[in-house]
A and B are shown apart, each in its own frame.
Chain A
Amino acid sequence: MKVSLKWLSEYVEIPDDLKAFCDRLDLTGTGVEGVEKLGEQFDHIVTGKVLTKTPHPDSDHLWVTTVDVGTCNVDSDGNPEPLQIVCGAQNFKEGDHIVVAMIGAVLPGDFEIKKSKLRGVTSCGMNCSERELGLSDNHDGIMILPAHAPIGVPFAEYYQLGDTVLDLEITPNRPDCLSMVGMAREVGAMYRVPYDNPLSEMAASLTLCKKETCPGKPVDVTITDPERCKRYTAHVIEHVKIGPSPDWLVERITALGGRSINNIVDVTNYILYLFGQPLHAFDYDKLCSEDGGAHIIVRPAYDGEKLTTLDGEERTLTSDMTVIATPEKAVALAGVMGGMDTEVTEETTKILLEAATFSRAHTSRTSRNLGLISESSMRYERGVDDNPIADISDAACALIIEVAGGKACSKLDCSNGIVDVWEERTEPIHLIFRIPRFNAMMGADIAPEEIKDILTRLGCEVTESEDEDILNVVAPTFRPDLEREIDLYEEVLRLFGMDRIEPTLPGGRGRFGVRTLAEQRKDIIHASLRASGLNETMTYSFADPSELDDLRMSAEALGLGEAVELINPMSADQSVMRQSIIPGLLRSVAYNQSRGVKNVQLYEIGVVFSAAEGRKKPKEREKLAGVLAGSFGEATWNNAPAPFDFFDGKGVVENLCRELCIDKLRFKALATDEAAHLQPGRAAQVLSGGTPLGWVGELHPLAVAAFDAQAPVVAFELDLNALLKAARHARDYVDVPTFPAVSVDVAFVVDESVTNEKMLQCMTSAGGKLLESVSLFDVYRDDVRVGTGKKSMAYALTYRAADRTLTSEEVEKAHEKLVKKVSGATGAEIRG
């Protein structure tokens, strides 16, 4: 909300130090979001008096003047020194008071005043016309001020253009601060100084009614649901003349960011800014029924009822919204905006002035559902006090009569003056304030007198009780946020000053910061992936509904469930929640590749979502996914990293499972129909024993292309919970060998279909206890030397006994048995 300090200072004293004032507002809960200094464009422009006026020696139309600008220009001793200014205007004489732009002033059109010479005569400024000052189009000569105008004061100050407007963030719990008077009260409480509320004086000025000429009561008001409208008042003002507002009113309205419309509307806005009470002026003649009376009904709208609001939009209403209606039709959207049909126009002569309160909840929902936020709705949804409404309405009437003429009756003088239907009165709330509890909870020692003073200045009635530790507090009705004792604590704390509270740390015994096993294991996962060279990233949880199809990923085959739909997504390509992290990572691969970064190694741990019919909340599962494209960096002088393939992804997973001590890690080839998103033949399911952990493989080239990335992209996606479950604390200890080992290399020629896993199974089962380890060191294919459809697999076998040195006979015997078993089971031949 914008607050003019010039206006505010009419009701409360504001400190001179603007920065300190803004800081204090900030600290006490009224955020200062902006400071706008009006009249800044008149910097270096001052009032002056023409001392001498002599013709320019080299010109027939220029004058050389000396102008007294008081202390605005001083000599080296600090004494006032008049300025010599060359001037082309003809409309002035010696002794005239004028406006002078001194050196440094910047006039409209970015025209900067500099010291200059005009036909050989020095000129130290400019005597200004109204047009040059941007005040009007008048350029018939320089601006001549009245003879009583002071000399040597800033023009902005003289012309009363100087004002500072603060843009304040009023928190939603403080409707009382959405007005000048409310802010005056707040500032008064901040500095413990008194403030003035002009309401009673303004209301009392409405005393124009003469009973004998009173036209009687042409208005009646019916409220069908007091829950939606506690109080509705209507004033009728006749013989008004619609026209422009006086300058002072325009200035007030525009300073606060409003737009001057006409004198009636401007008064309603002025009162809104001043007291925070929204008002609405109807054109009486457009409102009244055939009998000449205005029969106001405040009622729920009918579902589907139409109303064209002041902004020209036709609105379709629901029964949750409230309308102001006549027996014939709806004429305004209660609390939000007036109707077009009953708008005050230049032809209007009689108005009906509405001052009412409307339900916070209904106003808020109406405003949200129609996407229509107004100064009124903003105040109603935060809460408007029903108690001062009649006074405010009187004050508004008096002001309308002042600026637009007309006649109205005061509620004081005439029972017909105002129609006031007050169905439900907001009563003040009585609270207690336990001083010791307050101080204990704040960790402070604030004296009872200070507590009383703060609460009183905020408008509370504070009285002492029989117990000296307890205060009785009556909260004012304009503070709907003060409902409980704690609400009062907050008030006292913020105005006492949070900065004055001593910082401490909580005591308490037997408290431990504990990391759960899952967190510790997640740390291991992150460390392992980083050690494998992968870089952690984060992608959107939002997904494109078509991205799984683009990826060729089958939600069904992978058990991903149905996509979770957003009701109000930001965009179509982010309208569901992700079911897999891979699309996001693949987009990042494409992002990098398109920027010339070929080597990409990324991983992410995050939640994926799945919905199911009949289930309220989606299922959330944590996944770990990674992608590898390119290689580990460019070739360097001593290192040429190999391009990534399936085995790099698999290696990452193997490292990870090793670190997590996962037993019986297996990789099972995935068939095309099990994982269409992966390149056939380079796709594996990851298992611990029989438990699936996820998959690893090269993404299908068509899937990669669908994301505008370049293949090959190696990827894996694992279920985090499954990993954590399969993880073990540590492996069992195995004795470090003390007896020597015997190494034997053997190369088997087998059919392509025989897997390494199969070979390992045969060898480990045949090798028995003596076979310590098997390591594949070469796979070789050659149509001639090995044979078509065959491959040579070379293994390094290590034989060792834990308790003795093996003899060569023992090794030979064991090895022969192994070769025989492998050959028998796989058809392998020994390659010579």
Chain B
Amino acid sequence: MAITDELESLRIQTLEAISAAASSGDLDQVRVAVLGKSGTLTAYLRGMGQLPKEERASVGKTVNDVRKIVEEALSSRKAELDAAELAAAIDAAAVDVTLPGRSQQMGTRHLINRITDEVCEIFLGLGYSVAYGPEVETDYYNFTALNAPQDHPSRSMQDTFYVLDRSGDASAVKGESDVLLRTQTSGVQVHVMEQQKPPIYIVAPGKVYRRDVADPSHLPQFTQIEGLVVDRGITFGDLKGTLDYFCKQMFGEERKTRFRAHYFPFTEPSAEVDVSCGICHGEGCRMCKGTGWLEILGCGMVDPNVLEMSGIDPEEYSGFAFGVGVERVACLKYNVPDLRMLLEGDMRFLRQF
């Protein structure tokens, strides 16, 4: 058989083998058998030297043609097989996307601190800074400097936790001491006014303590945020505008506020602030006990006595102060049904926020 015929037959066999190859592995075997170092076609190329000169050119061309055809066939078959194999692999890799993802647990922030952050953030935006004070106070900072009368009922052993005074000082009322767990964050006001000259714009969050038995709506330990502004020309209208802005930021633009005259020893005039009920929008429902309003904070213009005691001239400066109960906000905004949950550390509660 002439070489060209041999090559023709090799070409046909090879193309058949290529198209018969079922995997890229099979195909590679075909490639090696034909084009490898000791492949059949490679043998022809190697044997060219033994051919008569006049045949070399035509045989060489035929061999090259065959090689080209084989290479093209290999490459196109390889592409086909690769695509099929990728498709098969992709098919095989399909997952049920509804299976849970793989994630690392993220921790959570306590609801009370989350709300405290929110409140502080609102007032930071209004140019306030955050201040802190001690949880154990003297009678002076918790009551006297805040204009509380010497015999104010809130000073009683029924309402205030007194701490054993280790200094040896005696107190006027039986059993009480000059040292106590602060019942309000208002004492921070006094510390700030003593240390800083107006203008003063601060909020002071912190724990406070009152002798209430823990039940769904009371805790002996809870959280307050005190606000204080002292500057020239501060008006009651400024107090209204500020707290109105705060309530809208905190509870929603559609909420209204109302100011009810009230009495606090350290402010005058004093008011309690209600925000319109978010459930009934003021119509009256169970949430707001039919009133359409929810009590949210206490406030007032800083009493001139308080300013004076802290060395600020009330004829020159005026100011306002307010106190927000954070637990109260938690109840109103997040519907916490029982305040004791805030102190139990139940993971099923904590991880909701």
Query: A623 to chain B: closest CB distance in Å?
Result: 13
Q: Which of A452-504 contact B (CB under 8 A)?
A: 484, 486-487, 489-490, 493-494, 498-499, 501-504
Q: Which residue of B lies closest to A570 (CB)?
A: B220
Task: Tell me if A127 is interfacial: C-beta within 8 Å of chain B.
Answer: no
- Residues of B close to A609: CB separation below 8 A: 135-136
B83-112 residues at the A interface, CB under 8 angstroms: 99-100, 102, 104-110, 112
Chain B residues numbered 317-353 whose CB sits less than 8 Å from any CB in chain A: 318, 342-348, 350-351
In the bound complex, do residue B177 and residue A567 qualify as a contact, i.e. CB atoms below 8 Å apart?
A: yes
Select B259's contact among A498, A514, A592, beta carbons within 8 Å: A498
Interface residue B244 (Cβ < 8 Å from any Cβ of A): yes
A214: interface (CB < 8 Å): no
The interface-forming segment of B48-56, B151-159, B184-192 is: B151-159
Considering only CB atoms, which chain A residue lies closest to B173 in the complex? Answer: A365
A824 located at the interface, meaning its Cβ lies under 8 Å from any Cβ of chain B in the complex? no
- Specify which chain B residues have a CB less than 8 angstroms from the CB of A530 in the assembled complex: 106-109
Query: Contact: A565 with B100, CB < 8 Å?
Result: no
Query: Which chain B residues border A588 with CB–CB below 8 Å?
Result: 344-346
Q: Contact at B127–A599, with CB atoms within 8 Å?
A: no
Complex Cα distance, B352 from A536, in Å, reads: 12
CB contact between A536 and one of B109, B164, B237, B259 (< 8 Å): that residue: B109
Is A506 touching B234 in the complex (CB atoms < 8 A)?
A: yes
Distance to closest chain B CB from A316 (angstroms)? 11
Tell me which residues across on chain A come within 8 A of B150, comparing CB atoms: 361
- Per-residue CB contact flags for chain A residues 367-384 toward chain B (1 = under 8 Å, else 0) read 011000000000001000
Size of chain B's interface in residues, with CB distance under 8 A? 94
B174 is contacted by which of A28, A369, A566 (Cβ under 8 Å)? Answer: A369
Q: In the complex, are the beta carbons of A618 and B136 less than 8 A apart?
A: yes
Binary CB contact string for chain B from 238 to 272 against chain A (1 if under 8 A, 0 otherwise): 10111011000000000000111111000011110
Task: Say whether B163 contacts A566, CB under 8 Å.
Answer: yes
Asked whether A440 is an interface residue with its Cβ less than 8 Å from the other chain, the reply is yes
Contacts of B294 in A (CB 8 A): none
In the complex, which of the residues B162, B168, B209, B347 has the most CB atoms of chain A within 10 Å of its own CB atom? B347
A31-66 contacts to B, CB under 8 A, are: 31
Query: In the bound complex, do residue B262 and residue A29 qualify as a contact, i.e. CB atoms below 8 Å apart?
Result: yes
Instruction: Name which residue of chain A comes closest to B257, CB basis.
Output: A503
Q: Does A116 contact B (CB under 8 A)?
A: no
Residue from the list A504, A540, A607 in contact with B343, Cβ < 8 A: A540
Any chain A CB within 8 A of the CB of B5? no
Complex CA–CA separation, A712 to B158 (angstroms): 41
B233 interface hit (Cβ, 8 Å): yes
Q: What's the nearest-Cβ distance from chain A to residue B192, in Å?
A: 13
Distance in angstroms from A608 CB to nearest chain B CB is: 10
- The reply to whether B233 and A507 contact each other, CB–CB distance below 8 Å, is yes
Q: Count A-B pairs with CB separation below 8 Å.
A: 275
B124 CB to nearest A CB, Å: 4
Question: Is B128 in contact with chain A by the CB < 8 A criterion?
Answer: yes
Q: Please, how many angstroms separate the alpha-carbon atoms of A574 and B212 in the complex?
A: 13
0/1 interface trace, chain B 297-323, chain A, CB 8 Å (1 if under): 000010110000000000000100000
Q: Would you list which residues of chain A between 612 and 627 have a CB under 8 Å from chain B?
A: 612-618, 620
Q: Which of A568, A584, A588, A606 counts the most B-chain CB atoms under 10 A from its CB?
A: A568
Name the A residues within 8 Å of B135 (CB-CB).
541, 607, 609, 620
User: Interface size of A by Cβ–Cβ distance < 8 Å?
Assistant: 102
Contact B237 A567 (CB under 8 A): no
A129 to B124, CA, bound (A): 70
**Is residue B138 contacting chain A, with contact meaning CB distance below 8 A?**
yes
Residue pair B138, A617 in contact (C-beta under 8 Å): yes
Contact segment of A8-16, A170-178, A746-754: A170-178
| A504 and B263 contacting across the interface, CB-CB below 8 Å | no
Does B199 lie within 8 Å of A486, measured CB to CB?
no
A539 within 8 A of B: yes
B107 x A531 contact (CB < 8 A): yes
A638 on the interface (CB 8 Å rule)?
A: yes
Give the chain A neighbours of B123 by CB distance below 8 A.
513
Chain A residues in 8 Å Cβ range of B343: 538-540
9 contacts between A and B (CB under 8 A): A174-B263, A360-B151, A381-B151, A505-B245, A506-B238, A513-B129, A530-B106, A601-B105, A607-B135
Query: Residues of A with Cβ closer than 8 Å to B?
Result: 26-29, 31, 171-174, 318, 360-361, 364-365, 368-369, 381, 440-444, 484, 486-487, 489-490, 493-494, 498-499, 501-508, 511-516, 519, 526, 529-542, 564-570, 574, 577, 584-585, 587-589, 591-592, 595, 597, 599-603, 606-607, 609, 611-618, 620, 632-633, 636-639
User: Which 6 residue pairs are nearest across A and B when measured between Cβ atoms?
Assistant: A443-B237, A588-B345, A443-B235, A29-B261, A171-B263, A530-B107
Contacts A511-B199, A569-B161, A588-B344 known; 12 new A-B pairs at CB < 8 A: A171-B263, A172-B153, A318-B174, A493-B236, A498-B269, A504-B240, A508-B127, A513-B201, A530-B106, A532-B107, A535-B110, A564-B163
